[in-house]
């Protein structure tokens, strides 16, 4: 009985330590802009490093069978960065002035999946922490 209790405790401590060291990205609120659905993602940086830039490309399946890719970013790639420090939260948004609108209302979105993730820390280096995305 005592051995089982220790084993369960170890499993919980390992899983919580692993979750505490990553970068968690979850679905944010969708909004409508000029008749187009604009999705967002919310980032929680549980790592010890500062994220300079984060981009998640989400493939959206529409009710008519078409798929569109939406780039959700923490900042403009060529502009001022908005770092996400350890313990910080931020929203990844679609920049409609640099990318095509979805072309459909939010009710037409049937499924989402992640196509690509770009995470950069200071100096343009890839993030050392793992990024988990739930679109």
- Domains along the chain? 22-134 (2.60.40)
What pLDDT score was predicted for residue 104?
93
What pLDDT score was predicted for residue 69?
95
101 vs 81: CA distance, rounded Å = 23
Average pLDDT, the chain: 85
What pLDDT score was predicted for residue 30?
94
Element (H, E) at 5: helix 2-20
- Strand, helix or coil for residue 89: strand
pTM (two decimals): 0.81
Nearest to 45 by CA among 85, 91, 83, 92: 85
Q: Which parts of the chain have pLDDT scores under 50?
A: 1-19
67-88: per-residue pLDDT in tens?
999 999 999 877 778 899 999 9
């Amino acid at each position: 009985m005592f051995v089982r209790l220790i084993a369960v405790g170890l499993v919980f401590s390992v899983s919580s330590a692993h979750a505490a060291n990553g970068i968690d990205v979850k679905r944010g609120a969708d909004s409508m802009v000029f008749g187009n659905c604009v999705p967002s993602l919310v980032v929680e940086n549980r790592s010890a490093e500062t994220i300079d830039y984060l981009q998640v490309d989400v493939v959206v399946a529409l009710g008519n069978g078409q798929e569109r890719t939406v780039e959700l970013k923490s900042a403009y790639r060529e502009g001022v960065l908005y770092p996400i420090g350890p313990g910080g939260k931020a929203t990844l948004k679609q920049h409609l002035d640099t990318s095509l609108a979805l072309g459909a209302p939010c009710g037409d979105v049937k499924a989402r999946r992640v196509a690509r993730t770009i995470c950069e820390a200071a100096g343009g280096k890839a993030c050392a922490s793992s990024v988990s995305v739930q679109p």
